[in-house]
Amino acid sequence: MKKTILFILLLTVLFSCKENAPVQVDGKAELTVLAMWNNSAIDSIKNYVPLPNAEMILVSEYGTRIEHSDDSGMLNLTNIPSATYQISARRKHPIIPDIIVVGNVVDVDVISGSPASDTIFTNAISASGISINEIYAGGPVNSIYFFYDQYIELYNSSSETKYLDGMQVLRVTSSRAYCSHHSSDVIGVPGGDWNGDGNIFGVTYAFKFPGKPGETKYPFAPNTFKVLAQDAFDHRKAVPVSVDLSRADWEFVSQFDAVDIDNPKVPNLYNISDCKISDFLISVTSDIILLTSGVDSVLSDGIDITTIIDGVEYQSSGTKRITLDSRIDRGWVQSPPKYDGKSMQRREKGVDTNDGTLDWEIIDLPTPGWQ
Ligand SMILES: [Ca+2]
Ligand SMILES: [Ca+2]
Ligand SMILES: [Ca+2]
Ligand SMILES: [Ca+2]
């Protein structure tokens, strides 16, 4: 009898520990989410069926919470804070390996006292091409304001070789149309389409790969990464916990800046801005980065939105208004603290649902050229 009581006590302790562990912020609201996937390829009648064991990512003003749907595709959460939630369901395709299914629901209002429920219909993410896969901006752990080991990582998720010839990498931070000395009467938010004609304004720094769009000198093989270093240098020589970028695929070199490092073994993106002479330094905590085809090379009248291959906005504070046009990406990445050694990367390589809030996560260490 005593043994039984002890056993029950032990079980109670074990289960209550397990239950309490992942709770971040307590509240009184309740939410049920059902994840579905489309199995029409194997069963033409049923179509959407429950998606078991999906990773469920919930983002609200209280932070990011990761859960899993149960065997019947359901996730039930109680005692969560009242908030507006962005929710994503994602996992490997139940049948076809190497494919990921993803679905999002956005702006789900969860209020205590009235249990909320929603359904996420996931779809296989088609391998579309090149995306910005990682942004390492904040610098290593250091107290000397060192962030010169920044890099941007691209990933080719398509099944064909792409070419980087003529592509541009842009930083969008201005409330003027283009740079500061091109001041005009037009003022708007960085990354916005101010006059509704499909052009994005606010480019400040602009670099490009050599060549012209359509040329094929700089191949980008399927399912591989390209690391674009601010400087292709072994930065551990400056800060020991920093990153070795001496074998990066590309580096940003401003031909107008005599002190910018130019590693002769690494090819260069070069500066095409006519008003910024310095290297492609990006903000350690808040910025907008665009990758464009280069077909629109006239920056002063805005960037034609149809030439934008990918765009990512990262911010340090959830209270800031996102400014990048929602046709490029409707979300934003919560950046890690500066000088913390952390990086921002897509949850699954190349998987882009055009919602940075749900597509990206913070990783503890930079991963240049891998994931
Ligand atoms: Ca450089
Ligand atoms: Ca070089
Ligand atoms: Ca233009
Ligand atoms: Ca990486």
Q: Which ligand sits closest to the CA of 348?
A: 4
Dist. CA 114 → ligand 4 center (Å): 41
From ligand 3's centre to the CA of 305, what distance in Å? 9
d(CA 123, CA 263): 43
352 C-alpha to ligand 3 centroid (Å): 25
**Which pLDDT value is given to residue 18?**
39
Query: How high is the pLDDT of residue 364?
Result: 97
Q: Which of 133, 55, 42 has its CA nearest to residue 92?
A: 55
Across-strand partners of 226? 154
- Distance in Å, CA 43 to ligand 3 centroid: 47
Cα(173) to ligand 3 centroid in Å equals 16
* Nearest ligand (C-alpha, residue 170): 3
Residue 14 has a pLDDT of: 44
Considering only CA atoms, which of 279, 220, 227, 271 is closest in space to residue 249? 227
* CA-derived radius of gyration, the chain: 23
- Ligand closest to the CA atom of residue 133: 4
> Ligand 3 centroid vs 295 CA: distance in angstroms?
9
Give the number of whichever ligand sits closest to the CA of residue 224. Answer: 4
Q: Relative to the alpha carbon of 350, which ligand is closest?
A: 4
| Predicted local distance difference test score (pLDDT) of residue 361 | 96
Q: Which residues of 335-363 are buried (b: 16+ CB within 10 A; e: fewer)?
A: bbebbbbbbbbbbbbbbbbebbbbbbbbb
Residue 302 Cα to ligand 3 midpoint, Å, equals: 5
Please list the rounded mean pLDDT of every run of 10 residues in the chain (371 residues). 48 42 72 92 75 95 94 96 95 86 94 94 85 98 97 96 98 81 68 90 95 98 97 98 98 96 98 92 96 94 94 84 88 94 96 92 97 97
Q: Which ligand number lies closest to the CA of residue 228? A: 1
Paired residues of 90 in beta bridges? 55, 102
Show the CA angle centred on residue 356, arms to residues 354 and 357, nearest 5°. 125
Considering the entire predicted model, what is its pTM? 0.87
For 193-247, how does the pLDDT look when each residue is reduced to its tens digit (9 = 90+)? Answer: 988 899 999 999 999 999 999 999 999 999 999 999 999 999 999 999 999 999 9
How far is ligand 2, taken at its centre, from the CA of residue 248, in Å?
10
CA of 214 to the centre of ligand 1 (A): 26
233 CA from centroid of ligand 2 (Å): 10
One-letter identity of residue 54: A
Residues that place a CB less than 5 A from ion ligand 3: 296, 298, 301
Which residue is associated with the tokens 């289960």?
Answer: 15
Cα(259) to centroid of ligand 1, in Å? 9
Distance 368 CA to ligand 4 centre (A): 5
- DSSP, residue by residue, 43-69: -TTT-EEE-TT-EEEEEETTEEEEEE-
List the structure tokens of 165. Answer: 């010839």
Distance 62 CA to ligand 3 centre (A): 39
For the chain, give the mean pLDDT.
Answer: 89
pLDDT of the residue at 9: 46
Ligand nearest to the CA of 367: 4
Q: Are 286 and 139 contacting, i.e. CB atoms less than 8 angstroms apart?
A: no
Reported in sequence order, the residue ranges of 137-234 that DSSP labels E, i.e. its strands, are 151-156, 162-163, 168-172, 199-200, 203-208, 219-220, 225-229
Domains and CATH numbers, the chain: 18-124 (2.60.40.10), 127-371 (2.60.40.1260)
Please tell me the number of the ligand nearest to residue 278's CA.
1
